[in-house]
Amino acid sequence: MNEELMHKVQQGDEDAYKELLDQIGFIVVRHIRRHIRNEETVNDLYQTVFMTLHRARHTYDTSKPFKPWLYAITKNVIYDYLRKNKKRIELEMLTGFELTVEAQKNTEQEEVSLLGRALKTLSPRYEEAIRLVKIDGLSMEEAAQKLGISKAAMKVRAHRGYEKLKKYLINEAKHGTT
C-alpha cells in the first residue's frame, strides 16, 4: 500500500504524497515519542523527519518494503538529536525535568538556577561528584582519579548524590516553589 503510494510520489502525484504522509505521520510520531518526551522537541523532530524523507524520496526502491526505509530515516533523525544533546538529556534524566534547548530563555534560566540551588543543598562531596560526572562529563574513572578515591567509592558517592538531588527536586516540584 505505502509502496504503491511512494511509487506514485516518485512520479510527482501530489495527492498520493498527501495520503502517504497522513498515513505515516502516526508511525513517525509514535517512534519519536518513544525516545523524546518534550512536546516541542517532538514537533521539531517530526518536521525534520518529514523534510529528510522529502529530500531522500529519490532513494526509495519501490521493489523493496517501504517501512525499513522510513524507519532508517526516522531512527537517524532521532539518534542524531540524542547524540548532539547527550549532556542535556543526561541532565533531564537526572533531574526528571525536561530542560529543553528550545524552551523559553527565562524558563531555562529558572530550571538551571533550580538545579544550581538543588546542588547547593548537597554536601560538598556529593555536589562535586555530580558536577564532575554529570555536568563536566567525566567518566567515573576520571572523576575518581580527580578526587583521589577509588572508582567504586566514586560510584557510591555519585549515586547517593543523585538520590538526594532527586528527592529535593521532587519535593520542590510538588510544592511548586520554583
| Binding footprint of other proteins on the chain (CB under 8 A) | 9-14, 17-18, 21-23, 25-26, 29, 42-43, 46-47, 50-52, 54-62, 64, 68-73, 76
Give 9 or 115: the residue with its C-beta nearer to other proteins.
9
Q: C-beta of 60: minimal distance to other proteins in Å?
A: 6
Q: C-beta of 177: minimal distance to other proteins in Å?
A: 32
Find cell 524558563 and name the residue: 107
φ, ψ of residue 38 in degrees (nearest 5): -70, 120
Asked if 40 and 33 touch (Cβ cutoff 8 Å), the reply is no
Asked if 126 and 164 touch (Cβ cutoff 8 Å), the reply is yes
Give 47 or 178: the residue with its C-beta nearer to other proteins.
47
Give 14 or 106: the residue with its C-beta nearer to other proteins.
14
φ, ψ of residue 97 in degrees (nearest 5): -100, 150
Give 3 or 172: the residue with its C-beta nearer to other proteins.
3
| Residue 112 CB partners (closer than 8 Å, separation 6+) | 99
Q: C-beta of 93: minimal distance to other proteins in Å?
A: 23
Find cell 537526572 and name the residue: 94
Asked if 120 and 127 touch (Cβ cutoff 8 Å), the reply is yes
Q: C-beta of 117: minimal distance to other proteins in Å?
A: 34
